[in-house]
Amino acid sequence: MNILFIGDPNSIHDIKWMSWFSDQEKNNCFLLVRDFHLPAKKIKNIKLLGGISDYSIFKRWTNKKSKILIQDVIKNNKIDIVHIFYAEPNLLWAKVINIPLILTTRGSDVLIGLNYFSKSKRLKYKIITKQYQNALKKCHSIISTSQKQLDVLNQLFTITCDTQVVRTGINVSHIKVPKQEKNIIFFPRNMQPLYNHELALKVLSKLPVEIQQKYEFVFVDKNSTNTTYINKIQNSMNALTDLNIRFEDSLNASDYFEILSRSEVVIMTPNSDGSPVSGMEALAAQSKLILPDLGYDKDLYEMANLYKPNNLESLLNTILLTLESNQIKNDTSFLDKVDRNIEMTKVLDIYNSIRK
């Protein structure tokens, strides 16, 4: 099968989806990226064929070069399926694609981007919303990583194709046996303003002294290219002189799961979210998980402890209650729900059904 992906080579989520297919010998995988993602790092067994501009609704003459590139790539490589990751803005290129097209939404593209356009009263955004409606009609299948995304899509637009929830899932073979001594409180999300690490650091300053002294507080993604945000977070960390805060670069799988195995609690503070893979990994590793109440799928995150979003007092109380609670236990049924091989096989089934 010849597959053309339109996605982000810097997104760990896009990479996980694309790599699952590119690792199969029977597939030939190609990639187009947004211009500003160039130069892009190589992804094993995926051929990068160039960059495309963001589709312009109001200056359509600027779309010609990227339109020709997309159509030439499809024709010259005999593409069977085009798979677009992240609806906003990549989906607007659907109008120049005339072969089977799949869209994967992941969270903020629907819950923030499309939601904002659809509810705005400005004429500009009403026009943009109509263009997204037309683009959605070109999709043969829409895959979302959480049920909430599909619910919002159906509220905002008329969806005429098949839809399904498929999670990125985890590599269950990477999960390590939990350590007896759990002395870490772990904040695994990347360094982006969306993930609201400011709230996390504020709550650490409010913890009782005995908790501050007992645990190591681990953050990741220190080597992010978002240097302005990194500097802001680093300054806030430096002010917490009495806490043992460790700020790591992006971690390889082995180091990441080693930290998880020693984490008493995993805490996330996003302003918006889909189905966080790091949350699945935390629960699979039998760490206690704290999330904001953002309407996560209950079949996955029923064991998580929820707090009122962006509320310092609620988060603080949830941490204290969670630390006093019993350690969670998982059975094989949970691992089956989050197994990447099982989830990606669902996508393969969609590919095959569309090609028939």
Record the tokens describing residue 330, joined without a space.
């998982």
CATH number at residue 219: 3.40.50.2000
Residue 123, domain extent: 2-169+339-355
Provide the pLDDT for residue 190: 94
Q: Which residues contact 229 (CB under 8 A, 6 or more apart)?
A: 191, 192, 193
Is the same domain home to 164 and 178? no
Is the same domain home to 344 and 276? no
Is the same domain home to 160 and 232? no
Instruction: Count the domains in the chain.
Output: 2
Q: Which residues contact 157 (CB under 8 A, 6 or more apart)?
A: 114, 118, 132, 133, 136
Task: Give the distance from CA 25 to its chain's centroid.
Answer: 26
Is the same domain home to 73 and 179? no
Neighbours of 352 (CB within 10 A): 11
Neighbours of 283 (CB within 10 A): 24
Is the same domain home to 129 and 161? yes
Is the same domain home to 272 and 190? yes
Neighbours of 22 (CB within 10 A): 21
Is the same domain home to 185 and 290? yes
Distances (CA, A) of 333 to 8, 290, 330: 32, 21, 8
Provide the pLDDT for residue 283: 92
Record the tokens describing residue 216, joined without a space.
């190591």
Provide the pLDDT for residue 40: 81
Distances (CA, A) of 15 to 37, 43, 137, 248: 14, 8, 26, 21
Is the same domain home to 204 and 144? no
- What are residue 228's phi and psi, to 5 degrees? -60, -45
Provide the pLDDT for residue 333: 79
Is the same domain home to 276 and 313? yes
Is the same domain home to 124 and 201? no
Is the same domain home to 85 and 15? yes
Q: From 45, 21, 23, 48, select the one nearest 34 (Cα to Cα).
A: 48
Q: What is the pLDDT along the chain (356 residues), one digit of tens a residue?
A: 999 999 999 888 899 999 999 999 899 999 999 998 888 888 999 999 999 999 998 888 889 999 999 999 999 999 999 999 988 889 999 999 999 999 999 888 888 888 888 888 899 889 999 999 999 999 999 999 999 999 999 999 999 999 999 999 999 888 877 777 889 999 999 999 999 999 999 999 999 999 999 999 999 999 998 999 999 999 999 999 999 999 999 999 889 999 999 999 999 999 999 899 999 999 998 899 999 999 999 989 999 999 999 999 999 999 999 999 887 766 667 888 899 999 999 999 999 999 86
- What are residue 39's phi and psi, to 5 degrees? -70, 140
Is the same domain home to 181 and 310? yes
- Using CB atoms within 10 Å of the CB of residue 25, give its burial: 0 to 12 exposed, 13 to 18 middle, 19+ buried: exposed
Q: From 166, 185, 94, select the one nearest 132 (Cα to Cα).
A: 94
